[in-house]
Chains A and B, each alone.
Chain A
Amino acid sequence: MAIVKFSDVSKSYTGLETAVKGVSFEVKAGEFAALAGPSGSGKTTILNLAAGLDTANSGTISLCDKALESLSRLDMARLRRQSVGFVFQAYNLFPVLTALENVMYPLALNHIPPRERRARAEASLKEVGLDGLGGRFPNEMSGGQQQRVAIARAIATNPKIVFADEPTANVDSTTADTLLELFQRLNKERGITFLFSSHDPNVLERAGRIIRVKDGQILNPEKVERQLKLVA
């Protein structure tokens, strides 16, 4: 079952250059997929389109079996709060809230009652290895710890998929490694689908599948998959 499905999707910001050209691909449930490509190749654009944060000029995108172009803005927001987690490169967290409160935020959006909200947020923090740090504010934590809080927030609502746009670009390689390990563990143990972008070979090494993007296009998708199969 495909969680994300792009069919011939194009996106142009300016009307002149095209950021994404005729992209088609699928991310199946349980996959651990990476978008790889140089700067400006269109990774962020693809992730934003997949999450419904932006709209395509042509083609169709479905997320969790819903055709995004037919969803209202409100339904799109509901779909995101219920089924999607998001981790960005940096500045993911609300600085006025503690780590625990940051994780509680999407649960509050989903109207989870306070007691359960707190319990689930604490469990999430524990899952990312931040047990006991819930009372800290973002500026009292390292970059890696902040990313872990962002991950805890992303998984607190039991999403079907987590999108992560260069989640390790702002941390050192050791921290990047442990973050990726965490992603992998969540993928395996909880069956959460991941689609993340990166241009770091060490990070990409861990991907179950690499979708290579260049100049807004996907490079020989079938060939990539065949290669991966061969490797496996």
Chain B
Amino acid sequence: MNSFLLKLCWKNLWRNKRRTILAVNAIAIGGGWLIWASNYIDALNRQFIENAIRYMNGHLTVAAEGFNEYKDAGKFIADPTSIEDWLRQNPKVRAYSPKILAQGLLSSARGSSNIFYMGIRPEMDKHTTEFHSRIVEGTYFEGETNHKPIVIGIGLKERLNVRVGSKLVALTQGVDGSIGNELFYVQGVFNTESEADKSLAFIRLEDARALLSLPGNAIHQFSVMAKDETKIQALQAETKTAFASHSIEALSWMDLQRHLMASIEVYNAANKIFMFIILFIASVGIANSILMSIMERTREFGVMMAIGTTKAEMVRMVLLETLLLAAVGVVVGNLLGIGITYYFQQTGFDLAWLTAKEIRMNGALINTVSYPAVHWIHNVIVTTAVMVLSVLAALLPIQHITKLKATAALKTN
């Protein structure tokens, strides 16, 4: 194919400007939207993950072996000192927080609820979770108190019909089989607009230890935040080797959030299917536009054949015309996708425009505003998909050309 024929294809492409622009628009809008949507879904996934990390277990959880599977209170780290020293000195660690987890009943004079108790050192947990920034009533373990303080979720507060200062009774089974029974006073209420609001309460580490009758300075786990997110796996491996003889398990947030990862994969798969459908529709638009254009030019193809153009050359011209059309569309689409993503990268995209409330996934809180970034891989995928589909779209017009007889073509006007 020489440049002269390429020029002819380009000129033919624009002979019916309206039709071509319509087809270009279909690809551009479809492609641009997909690039933007993919970037946005990436940002949303990123946010799911961030929230899973911030409100749950941090980047890494170091616990007694087998603890995480059933949160069995009996599986505790009897002496966490050596691990704590190691974590404090590790340059890869940004923050860590020792925790004791208990399951049990929390009752007020008006009602009771089966919940998770999270025993923490408030000052340390501030650096690994975000609950302290979600306090809507009272405080987050601030000030001196003679009582045992408890910070509960707003859902739990409503269920138990209590206020800040109300008395609550915690009831659990201790690791030694005894019944743990303690009095707490509501010190703060958090609102994360997630499942945690109904089923989670924070108490001090030592109070949790007493509630469960845990020995000495035992804890269940450390939640660890890495300095560099890309080094989580390295930190995990390091921890494993350092405490290989300690019956310790070190699990990353990915290990713990398998359901979250699975649902992200489902979203991604759905997006791909959606992408295929959109691009398929756009390519039907291409096929239609090119086919109409070819039909209108039947006589010209007759003349081409009469003056010695081969079928192969005509097929190449039709294919080239189709690819040019798709290319124009996909270039505009890429610019659109990048432009929209870039715009919302600056301003933030608020999903609240579409849904009234904050969104929850698997109990994790999702902020509605996210800041998508341009991920070039989506431009590559969409571009490739459009070009491949446009080759398929060219098949129908090409078939028309291969079947065309010169004498019949010359009879048309």
Contacts and interface: CB of A to CB of B under 8 A. Distances in A.
B309 A109 contact: yes
A99 interface: no
Given A53-B305, A80-B308, A96 B410 contact: no
Contact of B410 (A74, A79, A88): A88
B306 interface: yes
A114 B4 contact: yes
Interface of B is mostly: helix
B11 A80 contact: no
A78 B308 contact: yes
Given A77-B309, A78-B308, A94-B8, A53 B406 contact: yes
A109 B303 CA distance: 13
A95 interface: yes
Contact of A105 (B4, B299, B407, B413): B4
A153 interface: yes
A95 B15 contact: yes
Contacts of A92: 303
A81 B413 contact: no
A97 B11 contact: yes
B368 to A, nearest CB: 51
Interface in A71-101: 73-74, 77-82, 84-86, 88, 91-92, 94-97, 101
Contacts of A53: 305-306, 406-407, 410
Interface of A is mostly: helix
A86 B306 contact: yes
A20 B44 CA distance: 74
A15 to B, nearest CB: 16
A114 B6 CA distance: 13
Contacts of A109: 307-309, 313
A108 interface: yes
A106 interface: yes
B311 interface: yes
Interface in B123-168: none
Interface residues on A, range: 20 to 34
Contacts of A116: none
A48 interface: yes
Nearest to B309: A109
Nearest to B300: A94
Residue from B8, B307, B410 with most neighbouring chain A CB atoms (10 Å): B307
15 contacts: A53-B407, A77-B305, A77-B311, A78-B310, A80-B306, A80-B307, A80-B308, A86-B306, A86-B307, A97-B11, A101-B7, A105-B4, A105-B307, A106-B307, A114-B3
Interface of B: 2-5, 7-8, 11-12, 15, 299-300, 303, 305-313, 405-407, 410, 413
Interface of A: 48, 51, 53-54, 73-74, 77-82, 84-86, 88, 91-92, 94-97, 101, 104-106, 108-109, 111, 114, 117, 153-154
Given A81-B307, A86-B303, A86-B306, 20 more contacts: A48-B410, A53-B407, A54-B405, A54-B406, A77-B311, A79-B308, A80-B307, A80-B308, A91-B299, A91-B303, A92-B303, A94-B8, A96-B8, A97-B8, A97-B11, A101-B4, A101-B8, A111-B2, A114-B4, A154-B307
